[in-house]
Structure 1
Amino acid sequence: MNMSFRILIGDDHEHARKAMRMILAEDDRFTIVGEAKRGDEILPLTEQLMPDMILMDINMPVMNGLEATRLVKEKFPYVKIVMVTVSDDVTNLFEAIKNGAQGYLMKNLNPSIWLSYLHSLATDSAPMPQAIANRILAEFSNTKSTEDTILTPREQEILTRVAQGLSNKEIAKELVISEHTVKNHLKNIMQKLHLNNRVQLTRYAFEQGFL
């Protein structure tokens, strides 16, 4: 049975919201539960509608997507946020990732890529985009910690590969274990480290000197 994911759309342009509605309508795993035209509407709608994922435009009136992302993640850390943009400039996207966003999508990408990427994010199996990983590496490469790790050797192996941008499938193949085992290890790692997603795991790996 396919899992169903509740989606909230945040974009001030009607044609952009319409395009996202059309893309998501092609996959019955996604259900649009609401739409926001301004950034300051995002948090109240999240509280009211309890979405699993938010598609967030960066530039919105009253409050931009970066600030809206920060507010949502502070109160609802489990809600996945995907930044939607017309630009491939990673500067704002990196700021969104630091505020808790899980990923980003270009508005001009093929709809099939959108659906595949969103499903991977929704099921926690999408690798971090390399551009974002590189920015995090540059940002945190000088902040290694000397504290002892609480992870097992196998968990450290998996954490390292997550930070390298590998997907669960690629990790499983490289370590000769099942994808299900990788997912279980990731759950244990996030529980031990009190982290919520692959972005935070990657940042932790860089800070602790795993790479």
Structure 2
Amino acid sequence: MNYRILIADDHEHARKAMRMILSEDDRFTIVGEAKRGDEILPLTEQLMPDMILMDIHMPGLNGLEATRQVKEQFPYVKIVMVTVSDDVTNLFEAIKNGAQGYLVKNLNPTIWLSYLHALATDTATMPQEIANRILAEFTGVKSANDHLLTPREQEILTRVAQGLSNREIANELIISEHTVKNHLKNIMQKLHLNNRVQLTRYAYEQGFMGGNT
């Protein structure tokens, strides 16, 4: 399947770098580019991309607000925030506004392509490098909601916080990937969360970090 990509960044060198990375994978087609935040919504309506690579800081409208506007009108569009900063506040604000992913510009291009493809096919987890940076920022006590989770569910949530994929969690816990998916569904229902991105954020916020339980 081919995925239509809209690039939104006010810096030409950044757009060029993203074009070069995406050109390495024929599953991605760049359908347009936005240089200002206030161009993104009209271009989305015109071009109907599958995914937007969205810079956070742009003239006219910042990427966080542009994300909110796009997701209100075009909820199917997957939005990946692309930034030079790995500021955790930016990450959570982006997720709150509807973004599905977050990439730091200095990550290895191979990580970019594998992550974007996983995101396009709804199998993405946060890149390990970003997960490690975010985990380093968080300390704290687990919330009162955690008593709702079984020991196995807490084991899985811990590994979500470590940035592991469903397959990696299954291999580590010696269970099937299908079982992992069912556990994740149960966890999200118990915590009133809607998707893995929200689950990942919850895991970070509640201190599910560190090693195996």
TM-score under structure 2 length normalisation: 0.73
Shift in Å, 1:204: 4.0
Residues 1:25 and 1:155: Cα distance change in structure 2 (over 3 Å) = same
1:176 to 161, 174, 177: 174
Mapping 1:46-65, distance limit 5 Å: 46-65=44-63
2:80 matched residue in structure 1: 82
Which TM-score applies when normalising by structure 1?
0.74
Please point out which of 131, 134, 138 is paired with 1:132. 134
CA distance in 2, matches of 1:171, 1:159: 10
**Matches of 1:194 and 1:56, distance apart in 2:** 24
Q: CA deviation at 1:19?
A: 2.0
Question: Unaligned 5+ residue runs, structure 2?
Answer: none
Secondary structure, counterpart of 2:98 in structure 1: coil
Pairing of 1:47-196 with structure 2 (within 5 A): 47-123=45-121, 124-127=123-126, 129-133=131-135, 137=138, 144-146=143-145, 149=148, 157-179=155-177, 181-183=179-181, 186=184, 193=192, 195-196=194-195
In 1, Cα distance between equivalents of 2:73 and 2:43:
13
Contact 1:84 1:107 in 2 (8 A): yes
> How far 1:98 moved relative to its partner?
3.3
CA 1:59 to 1:153, structure 2 compared with 1: closer, same or farther past 3 Å? same
The C-alpha deviation readout for 1:50-83, integer Å capped at 9, x for no partner, is 3232111111110011211222233444432222
Q: In 2, are the aligned partners of 1:144 and 1:206 still within 8 Å (CA)?
A: no
Stretches of structure 1 lacking an aligned partner (at least 5 in a row): none
Structure 1 CA distance for aligned equivalents of residues 189 and 47 of structure 2: 26
Percent identity over the alignment is 79
8 Å CA contact 1:146–1:208 kept in 2: the answer is no
Q: 1:146 to 1:20 in 2, by over 3 A?
A: closer
Query: How well do the aligned residues superpose, as a CA RMSD in angstroms?
Result: 3.3
Mark the CA change 1:163 to 1:106 in structure 2 (over 3 Å): closer, same or farther: closer
Q: 3-state DSSP class of the match of 1:108?
A: coil
Measured after TM superposition, the shift of residue 200 of structure 1 is 0.4
Q: How far, CA to CA, are the matches of 1:36 and 1:111 in structure 2? A: 21
Distance in 2 between residues matched to 1:49 and 1:152, nearest whole Å? 46
What SS does structure 2 have at the residue aligned with 1:46?
helix
How far apart are residue 84 of structure 1 and its match? Answer: 1.5
CA displacement 1:93-122 (0-9 Å, x = unmatched): 343233332333233333222212222333
Give distance in 1, aligned partners of 2:106 and 2:3. Answer: 23
